[in-house]
Amino acid sequence: MSRVRAILALLTALVLTVGLASSADAAPRKWPKGRITYVDKSLDPDAVKAAVRAWNTSGLNVKFVKVSSTRKARLVIKNTKRVPAGCGTGYGTLGYPGPGRKATVSILHGSDADGQKCAWPGQTLVVAHELGHVLGLEHNSSGCSLMNTSHTNGVAPSLCVGDDIDEVKPGRWRCRLIEKVDLKRAKRIYGGKPRLAETEWCDAIDRIPATGAVTPTQVGGGFTVTVTRAPEPAVPAWLGTWAYGEPGFEVHATPAACTAVPGDDTTQVGLGLWGATPVGGAADEYLQPLPAGPVCLSVWQFDQGYNFALAPTTVLVTGPGARTSARTTDLPPRAASPVAVTRFD
């Protein structure tokens, strides 16, 4: 068997691997001359471009070269409805298919209703994974390996993330697509001087640049903070399908120094939702009594996906007495993010 397809789920992949191991000529073959011409016939050009760039800048002695026609291409990247498990999955030819034969990468083009797994971040993960198959790499269960059998929410390979909803919530993604283990395996085939991308995680959406103005007012033994709603970048429709709820702001209190981080329940003393408050308008949030002495109030604005602003607004106040609770009594609970694990192929 000179050509196989890496398709369906892990069980299928294991069966293929066992079958290949018993055949002298069935191991995935190396592409000759280190040059793979391809044509992109898909409706996901941004994902294809990003996936190709990741492999082409990896330092391996192999390159994907875009051409203008199917006739000139040895690899065809296209959309299909015949994928293993719906949107966010695909399949690709495993290794060099032989003289006169074309390799393929096929993915399902998604819609906004399908969420991040079928928007450009998830599609980039899928295309990069399938290109790994084209190079001859089979599935791998090592940590953040691109060749994991599945991804979670279009954020990262499933074995790269845990159960923390902040790890797998859409709005961020594993932009370092190719890991050390993937490069090591590919180097055995193609040689070169592999190098890891420096940045591991990236924002998949534009973040709020900074939180709006904050004015504290002492009320009896506690404080009320008035927070102005700063402009927020438009949230893409595909993120809306996974949103936690309404946008708003968190308030944190730390003694003297401004050391709080967003999302930390141990320092959070208030959480407000904008509701009908427009951009430029203000909302009030009452805080429980604070410790005596200097206290830093750090306020982080967040969008509907609970993605925090890049910078908080901080103010120093003098607390009049002991804080009775680490949180206000009427904080709305943070909604759980759906966690969808999708097999690549």
- Strands 313-319, 293-302: pairing is antiparallel
- Count CB atoms within 10 A of the CB of residue 25: 8
Report the alpha-carbon distance of residue 242 to residue 207 in Å, rounded: 16
pLDDT exceeds 70 at position 32? yes
pLDDT exceeds 80 at position 179? yes
Q: Which band of pLDDT confidence, cut at 50, 70 and 90, is reported for residue 157?
A: very high
Mean pLDDT (the chain, rounded): 84
- 3-class SS shares of the chain: helix, strand, coil, % to 5: 20, 25, 50
In this prediction, residue 21 carries a pLDDT of: 24
pLDDT exceeds 60 at position 23? no
Q: How far is CA 123 from CA 114, 141, 153, 233, 271, in A?
A: 11, 20, 11, 23, 34
Report the alpha-carbon distance of residue 87 to residue 109 in Å, rounded: 7
In this prediction, residue 12 carries a pLDDT of: 24
DSSP, collapsed to helix, strand or coil, labels residue 240 as: helix
Q: Are 318 and 284 in contact (CB under 8 A)?
A: no
Task: Over range 104-126, report the average pLDDT.
Answer: 93
pLDDT exceeds 50 at position 204? yes
pLDDT digit string, tens, across residues 267-286: 999 999 999 999 999 999 99
pLDDT exceeds 60 at position 215? yes
Nearest to 225 by CA among 286, 170, 184: 286
pLDDT digit string, tens, across residues 78-88: 999 888 777 88
In this prediction, residue 341 carries a pLDDT of: 75
Task: Over range 195-210, report the average pLDDT.
Answer: 93
In this prediction, residue 15 carries a pLDDT of: 21
3-class secondary structure for 90-140? EEEEECCCCCCCCEEEEECCCCHHHCHHHCHHHHHHHHHHHHHHHHCCCCC
Between 337 and 270, the higher pLDDT residue: 270
Backbone angles phi, psi at 128, to 5 degrees: -60, -40
Instruction: List, as one string, the DSSP characters of 162-174.
Output: -S-HHHH-TTEE-
Report the alpha-carbon distance of residue 345 to residue 86 in Å, rounded: 10
Nearest to 206 by CA among 174, 154, 171: 171
- CA-based diameter of the chain, in Å? 82
pLDDT exceeds 60 at position 22? no
DSSP, collapsed to helix, strand or coil, labels residue 38 as: strand
Q: Are 211 and 225 in contact (CB under 8 A)?
A: no
Token pair listed for 222 = 């506690």
pLDDT digit string, tens, across residues 38-97: 999 999 999 999 999 999 999 999 999 999 999 999 999 999 988 877 788 899 999 999
- Strands 222-228, 282-287: pairing is antiparallel
Q: Are 139 and 149 in contact (CB under 8 A)?
A: yes
Nearest to 242 by CA among 113, 67, 80, 128: 113
Domains of the chain with CATH codes: 4-204 (3.40.390.10), 214-319 (2.60.40.10)
Least trusted range by pLDDT, from 15-19, 62-66, 70-74, 174-178: 15-19
